[in-house]
Structure 1
Amino acid sequence: MVNDRRKNHIPFRLNVLFFGVFILFSVLILRLGYIQIVEGESYDLMLSQQEEQTANVDAPRGLMIDRYDNVVVDNDLQLSLTYTNTPRNDLERYEIAHQLVDYLNIEDEQIESVNAREWKDYYLYKGSMEEDGPISTHVSSLTTDQEANELDDDEFYQLQLNRLDEEEIADSFAYEEQQAVVIWAEMLSGYNYSPNRIARNLSEEEAHRLGEVLHDMPGTDILRDSERIYPYGNSFRRLFGGTGSIPAEQLDGYVGRGYERSDTVGTSFLESQYENVLRGEKAVMRTDAEGNVTTDPGRRGNDLILTIDMALQQEVEEIINQEMTGSFIADREAYVIMMEPNTGEILTIAGYEGENLGATTSTFEMGSTVKMATMLAGYHHGVVDHGTVVRDAPITIPSSPTIRSWQTMGYINDIDAIRRSSNIYMTEIAMRLADYNMSTNSWGALSESYQALRDHYRQFGLGTETGIDLPSESTGLIGNNQQGEVLFLSFGQYDTYTPMQLAQYTATMANGGKRMKPQLVREIREPSNGEENSGAIVRQSQPEVLNTVDNTDADFERMQTAMRQVISVGGQGGGTANSYFNSATYEAAGKTGTAQIMTNGMNGNNQSFVGYAPFDDPEVAIAVVVPNVALERAGGRQGIANHIARESLQAYFDLQEDRSNPEQEEDEEEIYGDPEA
């Protein structure tokens, strides 16, 4: 009986114990819920105030310096106003934006750049601040109470945005408040705890006035900043590239590499190609709970030592601009590329009025300049040999225009064909490669002939990537293998190539068959300590042979002799460029080229020239392309590219004898202009 009473007490005690534990857990859960829900924001604020905060400050980008130690892309130190967002600082941001209107010069263009969403966000925020004003009344009228009850906060806000009229909003504000919206939008674009630039390139007066009142505007500061400048104006400007915000389509990739969304990056050409080199190491600012600030200094990005000769670049640009005067150029294009044939180092990429982007992206039929490659293909495949004689006379095949040289030359050998620029000799090579029977108009190996020529051309860089250290290179346009078109391909009037491909081909001819990778960057150096070019070498580029052409040394010597005769042999049956170079102070080898085209409804041509000098020990190779020459306007003028080539080579040798510094640009708008413009 006693044991039964004891057994009854045990379940009762356990129930009491479980009930007590339940009560304790309920109290604990309620307390945690109260802290999390009711007091969560205040504790978050206390924590954020007690924690150490860090902010990154951009470092200047590395410089670009030409081969003779001239700084061609520099940084200009400037002052920027920054604002650092913190959680729940909406009212502070609003008030500071209105204060700053009195200290910053806000242009009308900046007001016009405010987007619709920013106008609406500002309008709704201002309406939420008013207790009983016209904006708050309008905002409250955008929705009904019933709609508000049925939507969550995000849906309710989106509905308000959708019902606002952007133009009505902007016009409802006075001019001064429109200026405040510009500043407010810039402030809002930043990230928490990270200084965001809301005004750049402050004048000394603006910075001084702001410095006196920054203590009344929490989160604001004046930061020493930098902007890209170009001491030589537009010379080579476009290929230096531009900097700007991270493109939206590349954002994930950059963030994955440790970039912040608001970072400035290289967006095109050299700035983009060498982004990892030019980017500096950010300074880190740490603020402890007591407000003490410590800074880990950043580091400027590494410098690029370019292969470019800026003095030569300026000389060649001036030569092009002078030669291109008049109205005979339909599209106003001209390109000159000069490079060292044995290293691939590029000395200049020049264009009309500084426009040189097309040197790697635009393609043209290059005419007779490709004839040495055709001849070398003929040697390689055994359809012609050194000294092979062909009769130059017009050829007509069914369903094709009559093919002729610029003059009927009679019996000529391979050197004659280059010196005098015979289309018929090249046509004969193509017909032999295609096993063409003229009497039956049958092609025994048409596809093989296309393949044979194009494969050989690619060994020179024609129709393939050159490997230049720039993004977005074109490989040219390859025509369809239509019957008979291989004949036009053989003398440069079918496939199209870029001026850079033509330059690589020329250098390969000059050095005897080694296709060199074109290079724009010689060295990468650590930032200098104030002395010119004193930074340690991080990386030094070495000449890179991409491939060696499948021809013998004797084959190349044969073609080099022919190229020399193009320039050196005068009189009847002389070289096609002799009259242009007979007064030159240097010995050059070269080849002229024209491709017949229609331009703007007029007869025209693409004019080109390839060459190198000195003939016995080549230092420089040159390719000149002047497309879309309208002959009816030019009065039949044919030698534009030849003139440009002669004067550009003369400028090179003059600078070797008497080196002069390039001329800096004095026009401030040119120095600080947008490199993408």
Structure 2
Amino acid sequence: MKKKNKQKKKNHLTFRLNVLFFVVFLLFSGLILRLGFVQIVEGESFVSELASTTNSTARIDAPRGVMYDRFGNVVVDNQLELSVTYTNPSRTTKAQTMLDIAKDLEPLIDIDTDRVIERDIRDYILINMTEKERYELVSREERSKLESASEEYQLEVESIPQEQIDSISEKDLRVLAIFREMARGYANSPQRIKQRITEEEAHVISENLDRLPGIDILRDSSRSYPYGDAFRSFFGSTSTIPREKLDYYLSRGYDRSDLVGTSFLEAQYEEALRGKKAVVESIMERQGSKTIDKEVKERLGQRGNDLVLTIDMELQQKLEDIVEYEVRKTGYSYIKDRSAYAVLMNPRTGDILAMAGFTGEGELRTDHIGNVNNMYEMGSSVKAASVLTGFQSGVAQPGTSFNDRPIILPSTEPKKSWRTFGWLDDRRALEQSSNVYMFEIGMRMANCHYTAPNTRCGWTTGSIDRAYNEVRNSFSQFGLGTETGIDLPSYSSGLIGGSEIPGNLLDLMIGQYDNYTPLQLAQYIATVANDGYRMEPRLVREIREPSTNPNEQGAIIQKFEPKILNRVDMSDAHINRVQQGLRDVMTRGTASGMFANAPYQPAGKTGTAEVTVTVGQGENRRSIAGNTQSLVGYAPYNNPEIAFAVIVPDIKLDSRGGRAGVAQEISKKALEAYFDLQDVRNGPTPVDEPILEEINID
């Protein structure tokens, strides 16, 4: 009985498994039949639908962060605008297809043709030729010698007659200008054809988008400068990604068509200023040549982070007016190019408060960048470093006196001061700008104790080399001849003279051998003012989140604290002694005529470096002697809050045609402007129409 029940259960289980297998078989059969039906019967319709549906994603630049001055005035802004763009849906899009779109777009916009070059015209003419016309450009014999299609194309381009190029119509040039920008783009990336289109152009284009595949109107922005050219060059520029840096930016998530900072602050703080892109996804279904359905999904972008600069724009404007006025007034006194440069900074923090420069032989133009890039022999303004170098080396001490008389070395013109002073100590040497005192320091550092004319005085090649190294190492502690550390992507570190002979060592001690930039000179005197602490110059104080309220700044993301680069290896007593000498310069020395009674109690050092400038051409070519005027200083003497350096190159020596004290005039007015602003502020003056940046898209 039990055996019978087991057999029955076994048969029942087999039956269920057979049913299950049969059901599975039916399901798979149905699935296969359905797949076959979709592929064979409906496959063509699905392929057709897929071909008529396009899905493109565009990443649209968000506005860059704005820049504020130290008092919250917006100095670099964004102006919203509209741009017409072309998005190439594929790398394989034919040139003729894009050319047809360009021809349809041409009547709708006013396009500039200045960038069209002859090669563009040749390519354009070739695209519009028939196969027969192209074949007739080059003989069969010439074609037989070619090894590639690219060589054949190049020969065809070169064979286009010049008269055909010259006869191209204005309309064709406009079409070509549009086509040129379209062809420069990358697949699936919007390429700007024209920025700042008018409202009328936007309306007309919008009405015709259905017959302009790939063309769109995008919200865009340009850099705007409410205060015109004031400090403009230091803000920097934006452009499409330079070819040599393409891989660098692509590896960091940029698109090929992105605009990036390419110089100065825009480049230095690119990561902070860069906005978060908006993402626009367009799904379009077409039937024939018509669009029957279009869906657009957009994820909003975000403006880049903002920069708070150290610049005082109101002071910057005043400084620019002062420098420009003095350069124009002194125009007849220049040997050739008229120019002047000025730097104002806080010696305690390194904050750059203002930097201005102008230059030009004919029309005067701004050259603010000259403060960090131009190099000059600065003359006696470096003598504070010379005296401290002498103290540190042990060849002199506070109160040490040297005899100021002409120094006559073998095969060298007599070296002397602007007058013979006789015996004088370090303070009076600074006060009256004695060259010989500095010569004595340099000679003694090279083991030369000068006693009589034409003496070799004990120095050797080795001792001279050691003296050069010791002097330059000492000067570099103040920022002379070394990197300043300013937050810019590039700047000059000065120029070292080449021939290290004894006579040049003496010139080095009085600032007439090595070359320095105006910023280096300002950092040097700021280090003296700051009791020997060399601060890193800076242009940016904070990075902040973008604010939604135009009257408020966003939350602080990063705050840059003042940074000490080094403390000069010299005693407080030595530094204090030189500070007293610099105060003497202003009260009874070479700058006392202009600064003795100044209420802000300045300290400083004058400088005049001898220069020779070659002018004229051919038979009229000649050399004219002149000097580069400089003045460095700080104020107030007991509690410095501003340090300055002013350089005026290539002033005539002729007392009848020249003008002395240009650097002093600029310095005095700049200091007065600074201290006046401590009492009364009206804010910087905006220009009537903000300047808009012209984007370089080449």
Counterpart in the other structure of 1:11? none
The alignment partner of 1:662 has SS state of: coil
1:79 counterpart = 2:82: yes
The alignment partner of 1:300 has SS state of: coil
Which amino acid in the other structure matches residue 140 of structure 1?
A: Y
**CA offset at residue 397 of structure 1?**
1.2
- Structure 2 residue aligned with 1:354, among 344, 348, 366? 366
1:152/1:55 Cα in 2 relative to 1: closer, same or farther (>3 Å)? farther
After superposition, where does 1:375-454 map in structure 2 within 5 Å? 375-438=387-450, 440-441=455-456, 442-444=458-460, 445-454=463-472
1:585 counterpart = 2:599: yes
Q: Deviations over 1:574-609 (max 9, x none)?
A: x11011113423111111111111123222101001
1:387/1:172 Cα in 2 relative to 1: closer, same or farther (>3 Å)? same
Which amino acid in the other structure matches residue 75 of structure 1?
A: N
- Structure 2 residue aligned with 1:526, among 545, 557, 581? 545
Which amino acid in the other structure matches residue 129 of structure 2?
A: G
The alignment partner of 1:471 has SS state of: coil
**Is 1:51–1:288's contact at 8 Å kept on the other side of the alignment?**
yes
Q: Deviations over 1:440-490 (max 9, x none)?
A: 414142111111111100000000010011122111111121122111111
1:123 counterpart = 2:125: yes
Q: Deviations over 1:153-186 (max 9, x none)?
A: 8447525544433744433433212211111222
Which amino acid in the other structure matches residue 501 of structure 1?
A: Q
Q: Distance in 1 between matches of 2:144 and 2:407?
A: 87
**CA offset at residue 260 of structure 1?**
2.1
The alignment partner of 1:102 has SS state of: helix
Q: Distance in 2 between matches of 1:42 and 1:372?
A: 88
Which amino acid in the other structure matches residue 459 of structure 2?
A: W
Q: Distance in 2 between matches of 1:465 and 1:272?
A: 19
Counterpart in the other structure of 2:627? 605
Q: How many residues align?
A: 621
**Is 1:328–1:633's contact at 8 Å kept on the other side of the alignment?**
no
**Is 1:609–1:623's contact at 8 Å kept on the other side of the alignment?**
yes
Q: Distance in 2 between matches of 1:675 and 1:84?
A: 19
Counterpart in the other structure of 2:111? 106
- Structure 2 residue aligned with 1:511, among 530, 534, 540? 530
Q: Distance in 1 between matches of 2:609 and 2:201?
A: 59
Instruction: Give TM-score scaled by structure 1 length.
Output: 0.87
1:77/1:478 Cα in 2 relative to 1: closer, same or farther (>3 Å)? same
1:335 counterpart = 2:324: no
**CA offset at residue 437 of structure 1?**
4.4
Q: Distance in 1 between matches of 2:169 and 2:71?
A: 55
1:657 counterpart = 2:679: yes
Which amino acid in the other structure matches residue 493 of structure 2?
A: T
**CA offset at residue 671 of structure 1?**
4.9
After superposition, where does 1:201-212 map in structure 2 within 5 Å? 201-212=196-207
- Structure 2 residue aligned with 1:545, among 560, 564, 569? 564
After superposition, where does 1:144-543 map in structure 2 within 5 Å? 154-155=149-150, 158-159=153-154, 161-165=156-160, 167-288=162-283, 291-324=294-327, 325=329, 326-329=331-334, 330-352=336-358, 353-438=365-450, 440-441=455-456, 442-444=458-460, 445-479=463-497, 480-543=499-562
Q: Deviations over 1:235-291 (max 9, x none)?
A: 111111111122222222222222222221111111111111111121111123653
The alignment partner of 1:484 has SS state of: helix
**Is 1:119–1:166's contact at 8 Å kept on the other side of the alignment?**
no
Which amino acid in the other structure matches residue 515 of structure 2?
A: T
The alignment partner of 2:490 has SS state of: coil
Q: Deviations over 1:353-381 (max 9, x none)?
A: 43111111111111111111111111111
**Is 1:170–1:178's contact at 8 Å kept on the other side of the alignment?**
no
1:94 counterpart = 2:112: no
**Is 1:584–1:650's contact at 8 Å kept on the other side of the alignment?**
no
**CA offset at residue 213 of structure 1?**
2.2
1:674/1:126 Cα in 2 relative to 1: closer, same or farther (>3 Å)? closer
List runs of 5+ in structure 2 lacking aligned partners. Answer: 1-38, 286-293, 359-364, 615-622
Segment drifting more, 629-638 vs 360-369: 629-638
**CA offset at residue 52 of structure 1?**
3.7
Which amino acid in the other structure matches residue 297 of structure 2?
A: T
The alignment partner of 2:58 has SS state of: strand
**Is 1:363–1:498's contact at 8 Å kept on the other side of the alignment?**
yes
Q: Distance in 1 between matches of 2:226 and 2:369?
A: 20
What is the percentage of aligned positions where both structures have the same residue? Answer: 46
Q: Deviations over 1:179-211 (max 9, x none)?
A: 111112222222222222111111122222222
Q: Distance in 2 between matches of 1:120 and 1:636?
A: 56
List runs of 5+ in structure 1 lacking aligned partners. Answer: 1-34, 36-40, 129-135, 570-574
**CA offset at residue 81 of structure 1?**
0.9
Segment drifting more, 516-525 vs 252-261: 252-261
1:149/1:413 Cα in 2 relative to 1: closer, same or farther (>3 Å)? closer
**Is 1:285–1:296's contact at 8 Å kept on the other side of the alignment?**
yes
Query: How well do the aligned residues superpose, as a CA RMSD in angstroms?
Result: 2.6
